[in-house]
Each structure stands twice: as structure tokens, then as C-alpha cells.
A and B are shown apart, each in its own frame.
Chain A
Amino acid sequence: MNGLRTEWSLDVPERYFTLESYEGGVARWCPGCGDHGVLTAVQRICRDEQIPPEKVVAVSGIGCSSRFPHYMHTYGFHGLHGRALPVACGVKSRRPDLHVWVATGDGDCCSIGAGHWIHAVRYNMDMTVMLFDNNIYGLTKMQTSPTSPQGLVTNTHPSGAWLPPMNVVQAMLGFTNVSFVARTVDWNLGHLYQTLRTAYHHRGLSFVHILQRCTAYTADLFDRLRSDPTKLLVLTHEDGVPVDPAVEKVYTNQQEHDPADLATARQLAEPQDDVVPIGLFYRNSDAPLYETFTEHGLGMPVEEKLAAVERELDRFAV
């Protein structure tokens, strides 16, 4: 810098990213869809953390929420129905430098992709998994999903859904090697942002169950929760999701819960009258990461690899 002495100026990073750096075109979800809020929260986190857009990979399956990667100006992988998690694990396996966000829905994750769900939790690779749970199949037009409330009238169950809904958080807290389980709601942007940001900072598979409105098919499903803030039980703890003052003021129904306490977390996950807990249920920062194994030999120089292959061939030499 001509004549500018370094002690006169602040350190200016070479690149600075704004919200626009992460915006990949106008989202084509329905007006009022809960997905818009999640998208904005993730873009804000990327901006606030100053993650280079080229180092972000948004991976999804198929469904309304799985359009997510298209609206991020980052790398994205909009793959197959139910198969976001194996792809995300593969992306991460030999690329520790990439930040992986997974967008999946209640059908994508808990139905067609349920096998991968259990195992991805067990692999515990460092990524943030967002379950957009609107209790319905939206893209294919109102079929019963595994989380649809019993009795919900859908196109596949016109007299009401037959079975009790799957309890996602309860299931998560039963999976081996679970390391981070939180819940939030799309209509409380402050809590949504803080939950996702806490998830982003957790090293391991951070799973965020997002109650999300579908204006087309389940528009009034969460009305009860939205109209009476005391129906949301906000979990608080210094190791949990930070609660913004604005949130604290409105959501007065709060409970201190240590996320290291799995037994209490499981109790909280039980269906309780009509109160829904949000915040961090469980965190285990010591859960082993699959990357410990997948990154083996990463960066081994080609000459070294060549020599090792020659030694392998020696074993079969005549």
C-alpha cells in the first residue's frame, strides 16, 4: 500500500461476503412457506461466519424443501429422494475443508431415506442436517407423511391418517452415536437462527428438527403453537441454544435443561399434552466422528503411494 502504514489501518480481509454472496436466485416456494425463513437464516449464518461460498455444499434429496440448494449461491447437490445423507457423507469423507448443509423433509428423511438417517447419525460426520418437517408431502400434493398427525385428512387417507405420527426427536435420541439434537420452528426467526448457528458450530452430525408450515396443505397445523407462545417450551442452558432477549420476552414458558442429560432429553421428547419443547435436547461432543477413519492417507504424496503400490505388487510377484 503506497505510503499507508500498517499501524494506521485495521486488518481488512481480502474477501468480504455479504448476504448477496450466498443468494442464488429467487426462491420458488409458495408465499408464506416456512422454507423461506430457513433459507435466510442459513444465508445469514454463512455471512456472519464469513464462510467462502465455494466452501459451502448444500445437499438435499427430493421434495419442496430439497429445492434449498438451488437458492444458495454456493455449491449444491440436489439429488435423489431420500438419498441426501449418503451423498453428504461422501462429499465430506475426503473433503474436511467443505461445510456441508443438508436439507431434507419428513418424507425424504423419515420415510424413503429412513435407513440412511439411522446410519448417518451413527457415522456422525461433521455436517448440519435440517429436517424441514411440515407433516405432509407437499411436492406430490398432500399425501400422508410419517409425521402427519393421526386423523389428518390427506389425499392418501381421505378419512384421516391411520397411524400415530413418528416422533422424530424421540427416534433421534435412540440412535447409536447421536451427537446433537435440537428443535426449532420456522416462525420464530431469532430462535431458528440461533439453533442453526449452534448446530453449525457443533463438530459432528447436528440434527435440527424444524417445525415448518406448509401454506398449501397444512396451513393451520401449527396455529395453536403460533397463537399461544406458552405452548412452546423453550429449553435454556449455557451449553444450549442461546435465547435472544426478544425471544425470551415473548416465550415465557422456559425450562433449564442440560443437553448432556440424555435421560431428561428423552423425557422431554415424549409427547406432552399440547406443549412442544424447542431448543437443544442433547449434545455429546465426545461422540466419535467417522472422519477419523475416512480421512486416512489424505494428502499422501503420489511418490509414496506409487512405492506402496509397488510393494503391494511384490506380494503377488512370481
Chain B
Amino acid sequence: MTQKPATAEPAAKPATGAARRKPASSSKKDSTRKRRRLDEHIVEIVSDSGEGAQKAGQTFGTVSAKMGNGVWTVEIIPAEIKPPARSRAGASGIRVRFGSRPMTNMGDEADLVVAFNEQVLYGRIAQGAFKPGTVILLESKWADDRQEEVQRQYAEALEQFAEQGFRVVELPMEAACQEILPGTRVGKNMFVLGMLTEIYDRDLQTALDEVAFVFHKKGEKVVSVNQELLRAGREFAQEHLAGDPVDLAFDIPAYKIEGETVVMNGNQAAGLGILASGMDVVAMYPITPATSVSHYLSGAFSRVGGLVHQAEDEIAAIGFAIGASYAGKTACTITSGPGLALKTEFLGLAVMAEIPLVVWVVQRGGPSTGLPTKVEQGDLMAALHASPGDAPKIILAPSDHEECFHFVILARRLAEAFRTPVMVLSDANLATGVAPFPRPKPRADWMAPAIDQSPWEEAVEPYDWDPDTGLSPRPVPGQAGGEYTLTGLAHTQKSKVAYDPKVNQVGSEMRSRKLATFQETLKPPEIHGDPEGDLLVVGWGSTRGSIEEAVDRLRADGQKVSSVHLRFLSPMEPGLQEIFERFRRVMTVEINYSDPPGAPHITPENRRRAQLARLLRDQTLVDVDCWSIVPGQPLPPTQIAKAVTERLESLEQTEKGAA
């Protein structure tokens, strides 16, 4: 990113205090400004922690969604609550990608950035978040800071940013806010929201309403101050960012969305799914990035009727949920990687004793405490193999926000029908990102109680396995005649402890057979692109949008590339081998670690491949390749396209070599 493009404007030259930009006197305040029409834009707001950048970005995303744009947001979260101010690693903020079509991923580099100080930008630059030509609206007060060191840092940054081709526009945003809130440093976020509403021609009333909604709990006074800030920001943009020399006025038209729409992040979607699934009990222990599901639910259950139990630890949380489920109530537990590790013994019990349970896992970077606030798809193997011994369980992975909602309902039904724990693997990308999706239509049968208290026919054993399917009905406490003692020990159909070889073999077969029975009800996955070609990309979870966007670009370039995305990981969707054989090469794209081919000591024999790739090789006997990295961030489509292109090139070289 050191290349300096021709479009870099002189506005990027290092400024001194005296050269602060004066308000452009020629600015127009009407909405008839000439606007550049665009298909999409990527905006970032970057700040120190606690300056409200995320709230501004989420609100901007919601306003844009309400105006009919496709939206996808990604939060930029430091691991600490309050990292030191002006620290390069402590950047906190948000990216909003929006446009005239549905948005399915965070995209590549940002087009417009608002930054409250220059230091926080370094981290973003290091992550490749910007490109030459990216416009940076930078708080200018640091140029006159009382500390000379700060002045020096600021001047140095301006120089460096200009060298990298960013178009820096210095703006006295904080000073303008202080006209409304004298003596404070708060309120810049809503001011910036106001600026963005002007730059992108967002409807003022929609934005004001949204601000009112966001702050309604804090009282009328707070609402009106924030609305005032928004208006001020809007006027500020009209004055400073119109006409000469910087004209920022864009038009990103709406696209037509069929039917009603809702907009939320993936954790909220999961929370709403939990409500709509009729869940009685959610037991959890605080863990990033899963906890916000319970934050939402703790309020919502007071209105919908249900329980969030904050347990004393991760083990107790799943134990409590299992107890509730055993007693006939619908229950789930919510966690992330380290919590999943602690829950494994109880997961094994739920498999062994066939207790329905939904386990919602919001994956983060691992192993150990890893990257608490960052994205990774590293828990597939951990989920699959959670528990010693053979512990077959159903594993699902939603690929977008809408699926975060519906997969709870699906998971609950599967858990009860198959008398098993069902694990759902979401991730930090879905958890915190906001996107619109069609409004679900909750149904009474989703909420039907699991509990049946009519007498149990005494002749029916508590594990009356159908030898063909492994399925059996479940007696629930309160049902006369169904009394049995559940146990994690090997047991007969009567739930009697038995250690003889046959009983253990039969029990294991029955538990495993349920997965095969379930798999028979699934269809092969849909193929994105042609059903045959040179290369097939296989993904799972939150990467679907990026993978499909990359595939679409490559196809537009004439490459014979397609993709499939798996929602069911245990058991897997059927027909994979047949699909794979129609492509010359199959590779997974995942956000978990794999040895890069060609790294020191790495051979095809000892290479540790990405997690889905390993499962697919096992399942299909196809030589499935993979491209996977662990940057702690979602994968931008360009990076995926580049990796796929490299594989295509090496494919051609190999074949040329062979010829």
C-alpha cells in the first residue's frame, strides 16, 4: 500500500495549526446537491474505546437498511474494555458495507473512514483495511495538542498517510460538538452519524427516529441532545464537505426488498430464535463473544416468559440446562470455545443418556483464551469430538443472520426428535455484525411444549430403541409409569447399568444410527455456479457471503469455479462425493489453521489441513485441498479470489508438467 495513486489530493498534505480548513462559504444547505451515484460503499468509524463508534455505525447501518439498502456491519473490537487512549492496538470501531443489493460480507478495503485520532488508524492499515484513495475524515484537534509529542505524532501520521495514498481531510469535529456540549468530549459519535447522513443522503427523520430509539431508555433529554448533535453533524458536513476542495456527496439507491424486513446482529437473531423456539431455559456463563445473546434475552424473557440462568460456571450452565431438559423443559446453553471445552463431560452425558439440548457456540479464536473478540472457525473438531469415547451429535452452522434465527428452531426440533444434543456453530463475525433479513413469521407449533404428562405405558422401556432408526420416545418426570433412572453409564433399554459387551455395542449403534437416520432426510447442498468445472470451493458458517462473492468475480472473469456451502456438519449433507467428482479440484476455504503448502518441513503427508477439509477427505475419499488462515478477521472476497486463482494456476502447471 505504499504506491501513490494519481488521484491523491493535495488535501492530504500535512497541515499545521494555522492551515486548519475554513468552512467553505459556498456550501449549499438544500438537498439538491449533485451526488455521485454508487453501487456500494464501505465506511469505517475508528476511535479509542468508549467513544461510541460502534453505536454510530450500527445506527447508520440500521438507517441504511431502513432506506432499502443491503447492509453488513463488522465491529472492530479491542480485547480490553478501556485500552489506553490513542493506542495503535486499541482501535475500536465499526465497518459498515452497504449498497444497492443484498450485502453478505464485509467486503475488501474501506472507501471512507472517520477517525477520532490518527493513532488508531495504524492498526487498521496494518490489517489492510484501506487502499490508496480511501478518504479519511480525521479529527484535527491533535495538531494543536498541548503535548508536543502528540503534535509530532499527528504531523508524522499525516505524512505517512499521504505517502500511502490516503486522502486525509482534517476536520475540527470535537470543537463543533463542544458548541453543543461544552466542556465534554462525548457526543462525537452522533455528530459523525449526522455527517454520514448528509454524505450519503440518508433521510433525516429516519435517522432522528433511530437515535430516539437507541437512547429511549436514557430519557428525553439525552434523546434530544443526541438528535441535536446529529443535526449539527449534518450541517457540518454540508459546510465542510461540499463543493471545493472536498465534495463528499453520494447516492446509493435502494433496491427492492420483498416483504417485511428486520435488521439485527447474529446474536440478537439467535436470541429472537430462542424466543420463537419456545425455549424455557437458557443457562449460560459470561464469555465473549457469546454473552450478548443472554444480554438480549435477559430483557426479552421478562416479556416473553422464560429464564436466563447465569450459572456459577460453564459446567453448571450446561448441567442446569440438562436438568431442565430432563424434566421436560426446552433448554439451551450458550458459550464460546473455552466454555465448550469445560462443557465436554456433560455433552458426553447428554449423548450417552440421550437428553435433548441445544448448545449455541459463538466461535472465537483459539486455542486457550486465544482471540476473545475475533473471528475464527476453529471449533468444528472440538464440537465434533467434544467428549471422550464415541459421542455422535448433530452439528449445524448458520451462514448468515437469518439462519442464526431459524437454526435455533431447527435445532430444538432436531434435539427432541432425535433425543440428542444439537450444537450450532456461529462465530464472532455473525455475532456482532448487523444485516437485514426477511422478517420471520413465528408459529405456534415452534413453541409447542416438549412436555407430555399423560401416563406412560409401563411396558415401554425408557430407551425403546427402534433398531432400524435408533429413535425412541422419552419419558419425562411426572409421567406415571415411566419412572427410570437416567445414567451416563452404559445401560440397557431399561436404563439399567450394564457392562456386558453386547449392551455397550448395541447402545453405541443406536446412538450412531440416529445420525444416519437424520442424514437420510437431507438433500444434497445446492451448488453456487455451474454443477461442474475446474475448481469447487467448499465452505461452512459465516464465510458464505465472501466465498460466493469471490466465486462470482472469478466466474465473471471466465474461470470455471463454483462453490457449495455446508449447513450440516454432523451428519453432513449427502451427495458430496458425487458433486466433488465433477470438479478437477476441490478446496475448502475456512478461518482456521492449516499448514501452508510449501512451508518448511510440510509435505502432503504431514500437512495438517483445515478442519472441514479433514472431515471431507474422511467422508468422501476425495483429495480435498484447503486454503485457510487465522487473521482474526472475516475473509475479504479479494483474498479468497486470489487464493483460488493461485490454486487454479498451480493446477494448470501440474497438468502441463504431467503432459
Contact = CB atoms under 8 A, between A and B. Distances in A.
A312 B483 contact: no
Interface string A278-318: 00000000000000011011101011111011111100111
B272 A94 contact: no
A231 interface: no
B294 to A, nearest CB: 14
A90 interface: yes
Contacts of B488: 78-80
B479 interface: yes
A170 interface: no
B168 interface: no
Contact of A59 (B280, B305, B309, B323): B323
Contacts of B316: 83, 85-86, 115-116, 119
Given A58-B485, A115-B313, A317 B324 contact: no
Interface in A40-83: 52-55, 57-59, 69-70, 72-80, 83
Contacts of A305: 275, 278, 304-305, 447
Contacts, number: 200
Contacts of A98: 327, 477-478
B306 interface: yes
Contacts of B487: 70, 78
B319 A83 contact: yes
B306 A83 contact: no
A298 B324 CA distance: 13
Contacts of A73: 483
Interface stretch (B20-28, B32-40, B435-443, B556-564): B435-443
Contact of B303 (A298, A302, A312): A312
Nearest to B455: A54
A318 B306 contact: no
A306 B442 contact: yes
Contact of A94 (B66, B312, B324, B475): B324
B326 interface: yes
A318 B263 contact: yes
A79 B319 contact: yes
Contacts of A260: none
A86 B439 contact: no
Nearest to B319: A86
A187 B565 CA distance: 65
Given A78-B489, A94-B307, A316 B262 contact: yes
A85 B323 CA distance: 9
Given A80-B349, A94-B281, A302-B447, A75 B484 contact: yes
A80 B346 contact: yes
B346 A70 contact: no
Interface string B461-488: 0000000000000010111111111111
B322 interface: yes
B319 A87 contact: yes
Contacts of B447: 302, 305-306
Contacts of B489: 78
Nearest to A74: B483
B272 A313 contact: yes
A93 interface: yes
A311 B309 CA distance: 23
B595 interface: no
22 contacts: A24-B485, A52-B480, A57-B327, A78-B486, A80-B319, A80-B488, A90-B322, A90-B327, A91-B327, A91-B477, A95-B477, A118-B312, A119-B311, A296-B307, A302-B444, A305-B447, A313-B262, A313-B272, A313-B440, A316-B264, A318-B66, A318-B263
Interface of B: 62, 65-66, 257, 260-264, 268, 272, 275-276, 278, 280-281, 283, 300-307, 309, 311-313, 315-317, 319-329, 331, 345-346, 349, 436, 439-440, 442-444, 447-448, 475, 477-489, 496-497
Interface of A: 24, 52-55, 57-59, 69-70, 72-80, 83, 85-95, 97-98, 115-116, 118-119, 293-294, 296-298, 300, 302-306, 308-313, 316-318
Name the 6 nearest CB pairs between A and B, nearest first: A297-B305, A90-B323, A76-B485, A86-B319, A300-B305, A90-B320
